[in-house]
Each structure stands twice: as C-alpha cells, then as structure tokens.
Structure 1
C-alpha cells in the first residue's frame, strides 16, 4: 500500500475514534482498545489531529448558535433550531466526508470530489472517471474485467472479440466487445448508458443479459432513452441542470463540490431550475442559481456553504 493510502486509512480510523468518544457510548472495553491503539505514536498524532478538527467543528456550531438573536416568537425559535440542527448535521457530514478508505485502497484509478480523470487501461481502452469515483482493473486471460467500486465511469472500449470487456458493479455486469458506454453505481442503483454499439447488461435480479443499444439506458431495471449531452456532459467538465427541482439541483452540485451545500428553508426547494455550470467556476454558478431563487450564499468555511432566504 502507498504511503498516501496508509495515511488515509489511519486518518479515517482516528476520525471514527473521535466520533465514538463524542457520542458518549464508549464502553470500558472500547477505552482499553483505544488506549492500546494510541500507544503507537503515529496513531496518537492522527488522533490528536482528528480531535483538533472536531473541536473546531463543534466550536463553529456553538458560535453560530450563540450568535442567533433572541427569538420572541415560536416560529423564530423553530427557525433558529433548524439552523443549528442543520449546521450540526452538515458539520458531522463534513467531518466524515472522505468516506470508506477500503475502496481507495483497492482502487487502481480514483478521483476526488470535483475531479474528472481520463485514464488508459492496459488493453488500450479508455476510461473517464466522474467525480468521487474508483475502479479496479482485473484483466486476465479471456476477460478484460473492470470492477467499478464507486461512482461512475465512461468507457471507450478497444475491440477484441476473443477477450470480452466486462464492468462489474457488485453483482451487476455490463459486457461489450467494441463500443462506448457509462456505468454508474450507488448503494441501491445501477445504470448503464450506451453511447455507441451494443452492451449486454445483467443484474442480480435479472441474470439473463438484456442488450442495450446506443442512446438507451438500462436504469433501475428499465430500458429508457437518455440525452448524452445532459447525462454525460460531466466528461467535458460541465454539469447540465435541466428543469430540475432546486433541491435536486443542489444535490447534484454537491457531488462535485468538496464539503456540503446546505439549504435552509423549503420555500424554494421544489422550484424548477435549468443551467449549465462549469466545474472550474462551480461556486460562481451556484451563487447565480441562489440569487435567482432569492437566496443568500454564505461561506461558514471553504467546505460549508449555507443558502438562506434574504
């Protein structure tokens, strides 16, 4: 494992210990395990760094909460409680933001949040990884196998009929000989979008392969049309929002921005918006969207943005 991977795993372990301590649910056995873990000087340094970060997050939450004006009305108190509660949830999400380090340990290629990367695979095929995505390469005799560990990737496959190209996402598989397609994976969804040629798709609940042609998507066990210039524009470092509820648009932008975007107030949540945003100027585009909805954009930290009504 590389030094960077070791540091990532160690930092994640330290954050988990700090969160466990903050929860107040540590047992005597847990304390003994932590004490033994901290006997390693590198572990202790990682723990102190994580604890310092957590204290800063807690201090930020408390400062914002204490700065809210005294509320004379019940509605004001509820809004203040919503603000503090939303901030606390955002801070917690920010603290554990780096996710599962095991995925990054297994990956041969990976992207950070907001990063798009193009890589050449061992057989000469090309893959473009979406934000916060990871894949492992398992080419063997008779099969060019890719394991999509997280996120989404688009593949331009070099033809080779003797060695099928298969993308595995859990128990789901997309197979092609010479074509181009994307595969996306979350905890509960699997989607294959074909941009050229034909792809055979099989899933855990439908093991018999379904053939999907260009311009079609095998999405949630259904074959539907999709627009390449909307759904796959991320390959060109752009995000296309097409007549999407505002809160859904924010969730999409959140995937490409390190940290969290928090919308306080639901008045504008379901209003539909359309936009094309460049990843290089994502915050500028976000600010324009917020202004169109009558919202103010406030940075609490570079990684935590609040959208509030003016």
Structure 2
C-alpha cells in the first residue's frame, strides 16, 4: 500500500483538498486553510502529495463534477477520500483485479455455483471466483485465477487432473479438495484421499486427507491439520475465522461485498480474529470487527471502506 495514503498529515491534506474544491467554501475556510498550510513544512509537502494523488485519479473528474452539482459535501468528501484511497492503496482504478477477465467460468460477488466439467468432475465455485478448463487427451487442467473452488474429481487413470493457481499446481490423486486463491496466497485443503502440490519455488508435497497447506511469495508453508468444517463453511454461506490475521480477514470479506476494504494502518493487520460470519452480512461483520478490536471504519460513499486504528 502507498504510504502517502496512510500518512495522517496527508489524510488531513486530503480533507482540505476536498473542502477547497467545493463551490461553497467560505472566506473563513480559505483563511484557515492558508494558516494550516503555513504552519508546518510537512503540511505543504502533504498538500503536494494530495494534489499528486488526485491528479493520478483524473479519470473520476466527470463523476466528481456530477457530485458537485448534487449531493451534500459529506458525499463529495467521501467520494474523493475513497477515490484517493483506492489509487493510494491499489495503484489505480484499472489495477483493481483484472485477473480472470476472460475466464471461462466466473461467479459474481455473493454467488455460489456448481459447474459440471467434461470428464464428469464437478467444481463448486465460491463468491467472486474465476477459472478456465483446458482438457486434452493427455491431461485435464484447470486454471483458477481467483477465489475458491471445491473439486470433486472423477477417476481417470489415463489423464491427470491438475489445478493451477498462482505459482503452483495441485494434482488430484483420486480425491475431493478445496483450493482458495485470495490476496496472492493459495491454500489447498484435502477432504478425501490425497493431492500432490508442486511449484517452481518449492519441492513437491503429497498432502493427505484432513490436511492443508498454503503457498505464495514466500514459498510453501508447513502442512497443518485442517478443520474441514471451517474450510468448507463457505459452501453453507458462512465464513469461519480461527486466529486469522485481520488483514486476511478483510481480504476474505472483500470477496463478498461491493467496494474495496483498505487497511490504512499496517500495524493492526496482524491482530488475530476468531469469529463466524454470514457471507450475506459483511457490513455487520465489519462492524463487529470494529466493535471487538477497537478499530475505526470510514465508509467512503460505498466505493471503499477504510479501516483505521481507533484513537
């Protein structure tokens, strides 16, 4: 995440930026802004950062102009803060998840769908997931671009069944298994029989029934015993977290709602979360997290929810 967008002084500059762009700004407000700008060299530098961030987001200028003619200042304020938070935290509007753009099978936010594959296997796709199939006489290959799928594989000794996700591939050994690919981390959990997990950055691993393992930028993690009820809870429209870091909880909740969730303070990202949430009630889940962990939420006009340390 861009550190400029998390700096308190830059956030204060963004507040001034919004107020100064409003047609109804008063002379007293302009005077107060000039005083704030002159009070500290850091303020002037933060103001430059705020202007630079908005310049990178000029694609939203027509929408901002529309908002200026209608809704009250709070809506305009939230719109700009949300817009700048998106570019500061995510590198631009068009960088927001282009993975799986041309996928063969996709689910929308909140959608769960079972797909029958040509060989008789099935895959249940979770919310906001995408995959494509590449079947030939030699092998059965599935590419999971994002999200989660539960695979029930038909036996075919002549053709391996392979699921590619991220930097690794999981080969079915006559089995049922779950693969989740969220926020650059892939987690494989075996419900029945076994799989072989292989990748360019790590040695092959045979994963047995009742076990799970994750891999990502740091390579392959250590296998751990899986709570299959927890792993497969999404198939019953629930999400179960057991001592999961807050940053990963937010990434998971984001798959079940419109708009982005941005952690504005990395120091709270490792706070463990243990909870059960309904996938259809993510707003309630976020509020529960805020009330329980003492964090603050700012919902910016439904474009983005910013998560801060309270106080």
1:23 corresponding residue in structure 2: 56
**Cα distance, 1:171 vs structure 2:** 5.4
Q: 1:52 aligns with which of 52, 62, 75?
A: 62
**Structure 1 position 159 matched with structure 2 position 147:** no
1:256 corresponding residue in structure 2: 256
Q: How many residues align?
A: 250
**Structure 1 position 104 matched with structure 2 position 104:** no
1:138-181 deviation digits (Å, cap 9, x = unpaired): 11113221112223322011222222211123552211242111
Q: Measure the CA separation in 2 of the matches of 1:58 and 1:119.
A: 46
Secondary structure, aligned partner of 2:275: strand
1:147 corresponding residue in structure 2: 143
Quick check: 2:263–2:306 contact (8 Å CA) kept in 1? yes
CA 211–85 in structure 1, closer or farther in 2 if over 3 Å, else same = same
Secondary structure, aligned partner of 2:287: helix
1:285 corresponding residue in structure 2: 285
Q: Measure the CA separation in 2 of the matches of 1:57 and 1:196.
A: 54
Quick check: 1:109–1:134 contact (8 Å CA) kept in 2? yes
Alignment of 1:150-229 (within 5 A): 150-169=146-165, 172-185=168-181, 188-206=184-202, 209-220=204-215, 221=220, 222-229=222-229
2:240 corresponding residue in structure 1: 240
**Cα distance, 1:137 vs structure 2:** 0.8
Q: Measure the CA separation in 2 of the matches of 1:263 and 1:170.
A: 23
Q: 1:124 aligns with which of 96, 117, 120?
A: 120
Of structures 1 and 2, the one with the larger relative CO (CA 8 A, separation 6+) is 2
Quick check: 2:166–2:184 contact (8 Å CA) kept in 1? no
Q: Measure the CA separation in 2 of the matches of 1:213 and 1:197.
A: 6
Quick check: 2:131–2:143 contact (8 Å CA) kept in 1? yes
Quick check: 2:110–2:256 contact (8 Å CA) kept in 1? yes
Superposition RMSD in Å: 4.1
1:91-115 deviation digits (Å, cap 9, x = unpaired): 66484475216x321x111123443
1:173-212 deviation digits (Å, cap 9, x = unpaired): 21124211122346754432111111122211346x4321
Quick check: 1:110–1:135 contact (8 Å CA) kept in 2? yes
TM-score scaled by structure 2?
0.64
Structure 2 gaps, min length 5 = 1-51
1:16 corresponding residue in structure 2: none
Q: Measure the CA separation in 1 of the matches of 2:182 and 2:264.
A: 26
CA 58–249 in structure 1, closer or farther in 2 if over 3 Å, else same = farther
Structure 1 gaps, min length 5 = 1-18, 26-46, 69-83
